[in-house]
Structure 1
Amino acid sequence: MAETPTSLDEFVAAFPVSRETQDRIAAFDALFLEWTARLNLVAKSSIQDRWTRHYLDSSQLLPLLPKEAKRIVDLGSGGGFPALFLALIDDDPKRHYFLVESIAKKCAFLREVAIRLELSNVTIVNDRIENRPDLRPADVVTARALADLSKLLAYTLPISSVRTMCIFMKGEKAQEELTAASRQWTMDVTHHPSRTHEAATILEIRNFARAR
């Protein structure tokens, strides 16, 4: 059954964090509401359900990150999900998040949050991922609602190494995308059920390469 927190208290019950982190989440929520009032960070219809659809949805990726992963690259960070929220709750001091977003107004929001909440583990990259091979090598690449799986792997390949793991959040068409991608790519895939939507899945992808 999907979990559906609607407040900070309910979020913490579903995903326990420290008091300090709770304070940061509350500050983030205030900034998020302030900016979404004037900027299309996410679908307006999802704002009321943000504790589930955005906050818990992002947080559920944290346990999937390998302990040795230090360099996380997020593709199409948009309103900060999942990577900005992950950076907010991640207490690993050696881990750093690179948020790649091509839309300047959304980057302005991401920077504002990083500055106001003093997130030293975040770098905002206002560019298209195709222009930033210098982000290689990524230990982990994340993406949510950006592109189909084949395109995501194409974006990831130039910044990857043999150890790179992808964590891609997918909806009801995940299997359809996997079938299509398998015509162009070889990969090892692990499916993780989503905590926030029964029809969604989280794809953990390793050892990916273009099919010969």
Structure 2
Amino acid sequence: MSESVLQDLGVSRETRERLIAYAALVRKWSPAINLVSKSDLEQVETRHIADSLQLAEFIPSTRGPWADLGSGGGFPGIVVAIMAAEQETGLDLHLVESDQRKAAFLRTAGRELGLSLTVHCTRVEQLAPLEAKTISARALAPLTDLLSYAHLHLAPGGRCVFLKGQSYEAEIDEARRTWHFDIDTRQSVTDPAARILLVSNLTHA
């Protein structure tokens, strides 16, 4: 187990215990519903939680709903909820997941960890607009598709924070064929080739 990676985060003991308990839930449920790959089960903290924790810095500046699209096993949605509880921001967090079994896991994790969140078990494009100020996603779809989903649920003046792998530059170039947007890229602390994409001023091209 990789719990040691959670020891030096500068968070409260309660938050650290929540993160450890969440990792245990992922390991318990994953063999049945494939939350993470079998090879990643021993790397939940280092590969998935640590990656998702990078979005915690955007929580305090979110004034309005936060929507996590395609939440899957809760990366980054559940991690964001845990860090929002740490920061006591009263974040209005919505997790969107179409797979009923994964949505059930997200609800169970929220309940057992004492988190404030709403789970929507439906496809992103079938959900009524959330008017979110921040939209996040990780390992869901190419950027062009993510922007299509985000456009349905983003409030005026809102932003997207997407965790992307090494193909991010090609995805940005492709997305610009369909969309106008401003973008800021930040290097991931967990993977030198990966980036956090901050997208704003999103409109159709």
Q: TM-score normalised by the shorter chain: which range applies?
A: over 0.9
Q: Which residue in 2 is equivalent to 1:3?
A: none
Q: Which residue in 2 is equivalent to 1:110?
A: 106
Q: Which residue in 2 is equivalent to 1:124?
A: 119
Matches within 5 A, 1:34-73: 34-65=28-59, 67-73=61-67
- Measured in 2, the distance between the counterparts of 1:92 and 1:192 equals 26
Q: CA deviation at 1:12?
A: 2.7
- The equivalent position to 2:71 in structure 1, one of 51, 74, 77, is 77
Q: CA deviation at 1:8?
A: 2.6
Normalised TM-score (structure 2) = 0.94
Q: CA deviation at 1:7?
A: 2.8
- Measured in 2, the distance between the counterparts of 1:171 and 1:188 equals 19
Q: Which residue in 1 is equivalent to 2:81?
A: 87
- Measured in 1, the distance between the counterparts of 2:174 and 2:4 equals 41
Equivalent residue of 1:205, what SS? strand
Letter in 2 for 1:139: K
Match status 1:99 vs 2:95: yes
Q: CA deviation at 1:38?
A: 2.1
- Measured in 1, the distance between the counterparts of 2:96 and 2:128 equals 12
Letter in 1 for 2:146: L
Q: CA deviation at 1:100?
A: 0.2
Letter in 1 for 2:90: K
- The equivalent position to 1:11 in structure 2, one of 6, 11, 23, is 6
TM-align CA RMSD: 1.4
Letter in 2 for 1:49: Q
Identity of aligned residues (%): 37
- Tell me the matched-pair count: 203
- The equivalent position to 1:200 in structure 2, one of 172, 194, 204, is 194
- Measured in 2, the distance between the counterparts of 1:25 and 1:103 equals 23
- Mind listing any 5+ residue stretches in structure 2 that lack a counterpart? none
- Measured in 1, the distance between the counterparts of 2:21 and 2:143 equals 34
- 1:29-80 per-residue CA deviation (whole Å, 9 max, x = no partner) reads 2211111132211122112111111111000111134524331101100000
- Measured in 2, the distance between the counterparts of 1:170 and 1:79 equals 17
CA contact (8 A) 1:70 1:94 kept: no
Q: Which residue in 2 is equivalent to 1:168?
A: 162
Structure with the larger helix share: 2
- Measured in 2, the distance between the counterparts of 1:11 and 1:143 equals 22
Q: CA deviation at 1:183?
A: 1.0
